[in-house]
Structure 1
Amino acid sequence: MSRSEIPFEPNSGKKPKNNKIQGRSPVIKSSQKPEQPAAANSIPPEVNRRLVRRAALFCGIPTSLGFLTFIASYIIVVKKWADLPNSAVVLVSMLFLGIGVLGLSYGALSASWDENREGHWWGWQEFKQNFGYLREAWKAQRAEKLSSQKPD
């Protein structure tokens, strides 16, 4: 089964060769500039903006609620509207902050990684597709690691 590649995925998964000649590193003269990464290997600006925007939304709202929990509970206790146990305040705040951490990951994975496609607002289809890319990359990395450990 052939998998579709991510639009900005490098063509070869191999590591670059070491430029050492007879145990010495190459000397870079001051007139030479180190090689810049190819534009094809970088994330396109539109995809990057989409990732940041979605991560900020899915992470920012719950994280803000986590911090507002402390402020709201302080006001409730000072105004003597209710007597809140400290552990309840901390647990509710930790819940919101934990959702914020998950939202950061979900925001990045639920954005469309295709430069020409915006994707759905909720992003569930994009999340499934992008998480599939990650699983395949993890499997390939594990297989490469196992094959490099095998004695010849």
Structure 2
Amino acid sequence: MKILICAGHPPTHIPRSLSPWKPTRIQPHPALRRETWKVVAKAEAKGFGGAPAAANIQGQKSSKRADAAPRKTAGRNGGEDDEKIPKVVFERMIGRILFYVGAPMAAGIALLQVFNVVKEQRLWEVPKWVPFLTTFVTFGASALGIAYGTLSASWDPEEEGSVLGFEEAQKNWVEMWEEE
């Protein structure tokens, strides 16, 4: 068992043998006590180009403390600071993500209810593969809605963008993959 990487500290340990004649209680491993868990304070939205981190939308210097050391990341841009997403753009992305995730998910749940009513009323004997297929398609589209909601939002704080965001998605896709 020690060969596995994750076997260093198993999540539970069993004090006695597991036999069907002597039931045992599974207890948490002593290394995983609640006192050792730490909560991460706050995550900030970063990335996706836009205004530099040292300047706000109007081009003025931000109120960044001079004594604070800049946070470096070992990312694609060779350890430079990540750029923060402006609040307007972040809220626009969240709104689009909620729409593009929520609409297919609501449609999938509604279709499952319709199939249930149709089957209970004996209007149509719904084959088992039909609800499975509709669930697969609608929930899959809901999962893709996270990425499309982010890409279809206008990353420019000044521009609103179109309703469905096809042009912005094409422009942002190229911008996301271009090398620096």
TM interval, shorter chain, is: 0.5 to 0.7
Equivalent residue runs for 1:1-152 within 5 Å: 6-8=49-51, 13-15=77-79, 41-137=83-179
CA distance in 2, matches of 1:76, 1:9: 56
Structure having the larger proportion of residues in helix: 1
3-state DSSP of counterpart to 1:60: helix
CA contact under 8 A between 2:49 and 2:83: conserved in structure 1? Answer: no
CA contact under 8 A between 1:54 and 1:107: conserved in structure 2? Answer: yes
CA distance in 1, matches of 2:140, 2:53: 33
CA contact under 8 A between 1:6 and 1:114: conserved in structure 2? Answer: no
Change (3 A) 1:93 1:9: farther
Tell me the number of residue pairs that the alignment of Structure 1 and Structure 2 aligns.
Answer: 112
Q: Which has the larger radius of gyration?
A: 2
Gap runs ≥5 in structure 1: 17-37, 141-152
Superposition CA RMSD, Å: 2.5
3-state DSSP of counterpart to 1:84: coil
CA distance in 1, matches of 2:172, 2:178: 10
TM-score computed with the length of structure 2 as normaliser: 0.55
CA distance in 1, matches of 2:131, 2:174: 37
Gap runs ≥5 in structure 2: 1-47, 55-71
Change (3 A) 1:62 1:9: farther
User: Could you tell me how far 1:9 is from its partner in structure 2?
Assistant: 5.8
Identity of aligned residues (%): 24
Change (3 A) 1:113 1:101: same
